[in-house]
Amino acid sequence: MPEARAADPGTAAPDGPAREVTVVCPTPEATRALGEALGARLAGGDVVVLDGPLGAGKTTLTQGLARGLGVTSPVTSPTFVLARHQRPDPAGPRPDGPVLLHVDAYRVGDGLEWDDLDLDSDLDASVVVVEWGAGLAERLAPGLVRVTLRRPEGGDPASEPSEPSEPSEPVEPSEPSEPSEPSEPSEPVAPRTVHVRLEGRTRPLDLAALARAAAQEPPP
Q: What is the pLDDT of residue 16?
A: 56
Q: What is the pLDDT of residue 57?
A: 95
Rounded Cα–Cα distance for residues 123 and 143 (Å): 13
Rounded Cα–Cα distance for residues 143 and 55 (Å): 26
Among 31, 34, 33, smallest CA distance to 190 is for 31
Q: What is the pLDDT of residue 71?
A: 97
Q: What is the pLDDT along the chain (220 residues), one digit of tens a residue?
A: 445 565 555 555 444 567 999 999 999 999 999 999 999 999 999 999 999 999 999 999 999 999 999 999 999 988 767 888 899 999 999 999 999 999 888 877 655 566 666 677 778 899 999 998 788 788 888 899 999 999 987 655 554 544 444 444 554 555 555 544 444 444 457 999 999 999 998 888 999 999 999 888 877 7
Q: What is the pLDDT of residue 203?
A: 87
Alpha carbon 206 to its chain's center: 17
CA neighbours within 13 Å on the CB side: how many for 154? 0
Q: At what angle do helices 58-69 and 28-40 cross, to 10 degrees?
A: 40
Contact indicator for 103, 123 with CB cutoff of 8 Å = no
Burial 128-137 (b: 16+ CB within 10 A, else e): bbbbbbeebb
Q: What is the pLDDT of residue 17?
A: 66
Residue type present at position 111: G
* Phi, psi (deg, nearest 5) at residue 210: -65, -45
- Which pTM value belongs to this model? 0.77
Q: What is the pLDDT of residue 218?
A: 77
**Answer CATH for 5-157+189-214 from 2.20.25.10, 3.40.930.10, 3.40.50.300, 2.30.30.30:** 3.40.50.300
